[in-house]
């Protein structure tokens, strides 16, 4: 037999090798029984619906009681003007007494941002929280209220009407800058102080709400995040535009101290009286107030009345 022939001892091994190759498919080709899944389909099949643990958390309903004080005129004496003007005036002496009462009785002056943080994120509020605010931007607020605020290191929010700034009897731009330097907050009280609930033209309503914000932010170079409705008057449309304009909070007037998550753009407030005893009664003096958080199955509707 030639040397190139296959010996009988090697024949069984070669035959076995050929059988093994015939049984195994090519490594780059799928077998006839293997399912071919396109890449897109494979990716889709991996994206399974979220389990219960992956579902968004239930909306949270939070409640709190925070007196929001509203001041207009602060003067040395009560004028002999109309009953409405007298009702909107607190003397510098009574204002100082009210601020001292807050200091002596453990109240903590907070801001509208603190309330927004509580409703949005559950950030804890201090015991006996209270907010101090001023409407319209009267010059007497700067002259007679600021000294007491500085004395007790209280932060107040001054809601100004942008068209009135610098007019006789109203706060000027330099005075607003001084308020900011002293740690005060500036909020919008609209451009010209109309009743927003009476405005049907959306563009005019937007001008009062949004354009007043941009004017203040441009002139003062600081964010303006609070809005107070002129006359405390608003409707669902106005409240929604306050939200869309980028404010964090909106304040109404004169309807109580209890707030919920739904109220962040329609916060209640109380008109500060020119009387210390009534002041104590209005803010719920000596009553224990707490903030509470609840889980709700209904998403809070910001801006609803």
What strands, in cross-sheet order, belong to the sheet with 292-295? 258-260, 60-65, 292-295
**Element holding 170 (H helix, E strand):** none
**Calpha distance 152→1 (Å, rounded):** 118
Contact 274, 78 (CB under 8 A): yes
What pLDDT score was predicted for residue 59?
A: 62
Encoded tokens for 138: 């009267």
What pLDDT score was predicted for residue 16?
A: 42
Contact 142, 171 (CB under 8 A): yes
Q: How far is CA 142 from CA 38, 110, 214, in A?
A: 72, 20, 23
**Calpha distance 39→263 (Å, rounded):** 49
Task: Lowest mean pLDDT of 11-25, 66-80, 111-125, name the range.
Answer: 11-25
pLDDT tens-digit readout, 270-300: 999 999 999 999 999 645 444 444 433 222 2
**pLDDT confidence of 86, banded at 50, 70, 90?**
confident
Contact 187, 217 (CB under 8 A): no
Which residue is it, tokens 């006839």?
A: 32
What pLDDT score was predicted for residue 20?
A: 36
CATH placement of domain 62-295: 3.20.20.370
The residue-averaged pLDDT of 250-262 equals: 92
Residues of the chain with CATH 3.20.20.370: 62-295
Q: How far is CA 138 from CA 3, 158, 176, in A?
A: 119, 9, 11
**Calpha distance 231→218 (Å, rounded):** 26
Q: What does DSSP say about strands 129-136 and 156-160: parallel, antiparallel, or unpaired?
A: parallel
| pLDDT for 90 beyond 60 | yes
- Closest alpha carbon to 253 in 176, 186, 159, 168: 159
Encoded tokens for 270: 């109380």
**Calpha distance 68→240 (Å, rounded):** 21
């Amino acid at each position: 037999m030639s040397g190139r022939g296959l010996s009988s001892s090697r024949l069984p091994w070669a035959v076995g090798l050929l059988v093994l190759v015939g049984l195994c498919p090519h490594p780059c080709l799928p077998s006839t029984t293997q399912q071919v899944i396109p890449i897109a389909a494979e990716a889709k099949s991996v994206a399974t619906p979220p389990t219960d643990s992956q579902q968004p958390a239930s909306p949270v309903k939070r409640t709190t009681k925070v007196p929001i004080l509203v001041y207009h005129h602060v003067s040395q004496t009560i004028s002999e003007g109309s009953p409405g003007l007298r009702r909107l005036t607190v003397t510098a002496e009574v204002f100082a007494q009210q601020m001292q009462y807050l200091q002596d009785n453990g109240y903590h002056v907070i801001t509208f941002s603190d309330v927004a943080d509580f409703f949005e994120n559950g950030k804890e509020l201090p015991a006996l929280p209270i907010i101090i605010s001023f409407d319209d931007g009267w010059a007497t607020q700067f002259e007679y209220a600021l000294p007491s605020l500085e004395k007790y290191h209280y932060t107040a929010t001054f809601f100004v009407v942008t068209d009135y700034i610098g007019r006789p009897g109203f706060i000027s731009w330099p005075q607003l800058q001084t308020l900011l330097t002293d740690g005060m907050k500036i909020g919008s009280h609209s451009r010209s102080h109309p009743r927003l609930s009476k405005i049907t033209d959306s563009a005019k309503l937007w001008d009062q709400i949004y354009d007043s914000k941009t004017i203040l932010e441009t002139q003062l170079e600081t964010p303006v995040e609070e809005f107070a409705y002129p006359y405390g008057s608003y409707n669902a449309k106005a409240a929604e535009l306050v939200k869309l304009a980028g404010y964090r909070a909106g304040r109404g007037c004169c309807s109580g101290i209890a707030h919920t998550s739904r109220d962040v753009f329609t916060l209640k407030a109380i008109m500060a009286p020119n009387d210390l005893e009534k002041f104590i009664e209005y803010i719920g003096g000596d009553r224990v107030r707490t903030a509470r958080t609840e889980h709700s199955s209904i998403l809070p509707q910001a801006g609803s009345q």
